[in-house]
Structure 1
Amino acid sequence: MNKKILVIPSWYPNNKNDLVGSFYKEQAQLLNRNGYDIKVLYGIEHRLSFIKYLRKLFKTSTTLSTKFLKQDPEAFSFDIYYYKKWSEKKTLAHKKKQYEKAFNSLSQQWQPELIHAQSTANAGIYAYHLSAISGIPYVIIEHQIFLLNVYPKTIQKEMVKAIENAAKTGAVSYHQQRCILMHNIDCNPIITWNLMDETKFDILKNQSNSKFTILTITYPHFIKDSPTFFKSIKAFQDISDVDFEVIVIGNNSFKDITKANSDTFEAQAKANNVLDKCTFYPHLNREEIKRKLQECDVYVSTSIAETYGVAAREAMLCGKPVISTKSGGIEDSLNLNTGISVNIKDYKSIAEHLKKTSSGEHTFSPEIIRNFIIEQAGQKAFIKIMSDFYNL
């Protein structure tokens, strides 16, 4: 009988945004087809005014739905309503209670043997609570940039307790492992690479770009440091006479993708006088992203910190070299055969390496790049990693 695993994600692809947390879904889907019985439980939070909250007081039961979250594996969502002026402590207690009700409802038809929290805030906190009331062990894999001080004190304490009481804690990179341990938390994070599904990305044969194409996938947050990206494009333009284009995929919307736009990036490109070189895509589906990755010549990441670097590795599965700042997670897959590392904010070095790549001074084998990622975190490697991780 397949081992029953309940996945509690901190975010998950849904009807309003099918890309957010897509790697959570893809990982769960693969495991569900390879020896595990996976189900997903996710609470949709609604921060309400007093009047709107009062209208929800008579909602006495927690109804599980499979209509909002993307399915395969089976994924249940439920609503969490709370008053926006409650204290952090009261709000968290209320959320945990709603997860408890939803968990009890699900357990009537399906009882997990293990709870897997994807990220500590707040999935790990909920998993810790559910484990305490049910006696079912739980594990956590940390995906977010791990800085306790960005959270309220109440959340910080709960995060530490969740990690210290987990049967196992995983980190998706050595950088992530180091960040967790720097907080003096009593744990020993295991490296658990994210799945890089080689069946979803491949090398485009007979590629013939008329222009040297640079691609990045990002969003407008200081941690991604998009100003450095556009500075590097300006510096590259100043030192090279090659005909080039820049593809920028990303937006400022995490909940409703219909509100996505590229305004921030367009303003930065204009400020660096490279707007005419750039094409912006606020939102593309997975197949469209794959095509852009296949058609580019190089992928560039200018992040200050990356827990893992999914997009960069997807480019590598398409055989593309990566030029990246030394931001942590991506470095675990960068070597002389796969790409180039530069110091954070060093836009001049990025420009120099773009010039050498476009001129052919830097050469890379697409097959070597792709095979490195497959051996590290492809389907077979990922199933082995998770089988060991789930073996308590």
Structure 2
Amino acid sequence: MNLLVIGRGYPEVETGLIGIFEYEQAEAVSKYYNDSVKITYAFCDNRSIFRLRRFNSFSKQDRNLFTQGRYFPIGGFPTPVFNKIKSKLSITVLENAIKKHGKPDVIHIHFPIITLTEEIWDYLVSLNSKIILTEHYTRVQNKELTIQQINLLKKITIQADKFLCVNDVLPKIIEELTGVNREFIVVPNVVSSVFSNINEPNEDIYRFIALGRLVKVKRFDLVIDAFSKRFKDNPNIELIIAGDGEEYETLRAKVSSLNMENNIRLTGFLNREETAQLLGKSNAYVSASTVETFGVPVIEAMSCGKPVIVADTSPIKQYINNERGLLFKVNNVNDLADKMEIMYKQRFNYNHLDISEYAECNFSDEAVAKQLYSIYCDA
């Protein structure tokens, strides 16, 4: 099978890891179906010059996974100009990839509202390959699309051979936006095998951990407030917030104003290995995020055997039961505080190996690769 995967970019720390979800899915299929699938991963990264400072082509080979792409930062240009340039650049990348690696049997497009224009879509349809879409985009889930984007979404929803979503919320949203009633398949994101550090709970210090970009919608401020309400006077319980972002200084000042420097620590940016090590040394994971399409850090924590606390609006809630964690009322600091206290009191009731095995069965690279390969063959 010749497979063409289209993503937002090639994931590197220097470029903000854009493309990591789509690339890791392609990498997983490449790893487990090396003898039966040849994969080309293509991208055209057109973010603003303020976020992307590259003007070059990119190519790489890893086993049977070939990557070809182009960096050309034009984000912020007027939409007609942006779409015209993006279409030309993207089609050139795709034509070169096909010339080099052959016509695809199956085309898998991620984040279609970001990676496509109508001209790019029409070009792909003209290839007469089977086309599969995967929607991850928060703006789709929040219905924050322009009329032009809704029209594109409707067109591709009608014409695609398969439509995948990373959660069970997006299908209903897409139906409401487009008026199209069709079959959707839920396929989760891959969780890296790095996240498998399973340790029993600490006996001396109980550690809550929260991960992610430090931005307002992730509500790390709520986690800090909830933790302070219940554990301010307990030196044996701590909260670690790992990540970086625009809210870092604000959150640090908040911790200081609450006189919680001895109980709450902000680590700043950590790479995957460092994050996995810290998760392994923690007891429980907490997220107060109000906006997620999947929530990979939650699953990373579960892969390390940690019980989790998430908002009752999170798409991850479909994977949470009393054996794996707790749900709290979104944006409700008192309910979050209560759930953190309950988790601490029930800390010896969670089977960390069972939590990790559940994550392995549902979100590992092998599990997701098997699901994707079956979909590709079916298409």
TM range (shorter): 0.7 to 0.9
Quickly say closer, same or farther: Cα 1:209–1:22, change in 2 above 3 A: farther
Alignment gaps of 5+ in structure 1: 50-61, 254-260
Counterpart for residue 188 of structure 2: 193
Q: Which one of 195, 204, 218 corresponds to residue 198 of structure 2?
A: 204
- Report the alpha carbon displacement of residue 28 of structure 1 after superposing the two structures with TM: 1.4
- Per the normalisation by structure 2, the TM-score is 0.86
Provide closer, same or farther for how the CA distance between residues 364 and 295 of structure 1 changes in structure 2, counting only shifts above 3 A: same
Distance 1:270 1:5, change over 3 A: farther
Alignment match, 1:57: none
Distance, in Å, in 1 between the alignment partners of 2:282 and 2:110 is: 31
Aligned mate of 1:25, from 9, 23, 26: 23
Stretch moving more, 153-162 or 317-326: 153-162
- Aligned residue for 1:252, secondary structure, equals coil
Looking at structure 2, the residues matched to 46 and 364 of structure 1 have their Cα atoms a distance apart, in angstroms, of 43
Cα deviation 1:123-149 (Å, max 9, x = unaligned): 254762431343333211111222475
**Residue 365 (str. 1) matches residue 351 (str. 2):** yes
1:91 aligns with 2:92: no
Aligned pair in 2 of structure 1 residues 345, 206: CA closer, same or farther (>3 Å)? closer
SS in 2 for 1:150: coil
8 A Cα contact 1:18 1:70, kept in partner = no
Q: Give how far 1:189 is off.
A: 1.7
- Aligned ranges 1:125-140 → 2 under 5 Å: 125=117, 128-140=121-133
Question: Could you give the per-residue CA deviations for residues 170-198 of structure 1, whole angstroms, max 9, x where no partner exists?
Answer: 1111122233223244133211122234x
Q: Is the 8 A contact 1:63 1:102 kept in 2?
A: no
For residue 39 of structure 1, give the secondary structure of its aligned residue in structure 2. Answer: strand
Task: Report the Cα offset of residue 33 of structure 1.
Answer: 2.1
Residue in 2 that maps onto 1:336: 322
Task: Give yes or no for the alignment of 1:77 onto 2:69.
Answer: yes
CA contact (8 A) 1:333 1:373 kept: no
- With over 3 angstroms needed to count, the CA separation of the structure-2 counterparts of 1:309 and 1:91, relative to structure 1, is same
Alignment of 1:39-188 (within 5 A): 39-45=40-46, 47=48, 64-66=57-59, 73-80=65-72, 82=74, 84-85=76-77, 87-111=78-102, 112-125=104-117, 128-145=121-138, 146-147=140-141, 149-186=143-180, 187-188=182-183
Structure 1 residue 20: Cα displacement = 4.0
3-state SS of paired residue (2:71): strand
2:237 aligns to what?
244
In 2, Cα distance between the equivalents of 1:70 and 1:286?
20
SS at 1:33 equivalent: helix
Q: Deviations over 1:351-376 (max 9, x none)?
A: 22222332346621001111222222
Moved more, 156-165 or 284-293: 156-165
1:264/1:159 Cα in 2 relative to 1: closer, same or farther (>3 Å)? farther
Closer/same/farther in 2, CA of residues 4 and 81 from structure 1, 3 Å limit: same
Does the 8 Å CA contact 2:153/2:178 hold for their aligned counterparts?
no
Whether contact under 8 Å (2:21, 2:190) holds in the other structure is: yes
Shift of 1:271: 4.6
CA distance in 2, matches of 1:78, 1:293: 35
Note the residue ranges of structure 2 that are not aligned, 5 or more in a row.
Answer: none
Determine the C-alpha separation between the residues in 2 that align with 1:303 and 1:330. Answer: 11
Deviations 1:51-85 (A, max 9, x none): xxxxxxxxxxx974227x99983322213354955
State the distance in 2 between where 1:297 and 1:81 align.
42
SS at match of 1:193: coil
List 4+ stretches of structure 1 deviating above 6 A.
69-72
Structure 2 letter corresponding to 1:144: Y
SS at match of 2:46: strand
**What displacement does 1:205 show?**
4.0
Judge which range, 101-110 or 171-180, deviates more.
171-180
Q: Give yes or no for contact 2:201–2:283 (8 Å, CA) kept in 1.
A: no
Q: What is the distance in 2 between the residues matched to 1:14 and 1:138?
A: 27
Distance 1:83 1:357 in 2: 44
Residue identity (%) = 18
Matched, 1:304 2:290: yes
Contact 2:106–2:130 (CA<8 Å) still a contact in 1? yes
Q: Which amino acid aligns with 1:219?
A: R
1:382 aligns with 2:377: no
The letter of the residue matching 1:267 is A
Q: 1:293 aligns with which of 258, 266, 279?
A: 279
Instruction: Provide the residue aligned with 2:8 in structure 1.
Output: 10
Residue type of the partner of 2:153? M
Give the match's secondary structure for 1:357: helix
1:23 shift after superposition = 3.3
CA 37–273 in structure 1, closer or farther in 2 if over 3 Å, else same: farther
Q: Which amino acid aligns with 2:59?
A: T
Q: Hey, what's the Cα distance between the residues in 2 that align with 1:232 and 1:200? A: 30
- The letter for the 2-side match of 1:243 is N
Measured after TM superposition, the shift of residue 348 of structure 1 is 1.5
RMSD: 2.9
Q: Give distance in 2, aligned partners of 1:213 and 1:388.
A: 40
Residue 38 of structure 1 is matched in structure 2 by 39
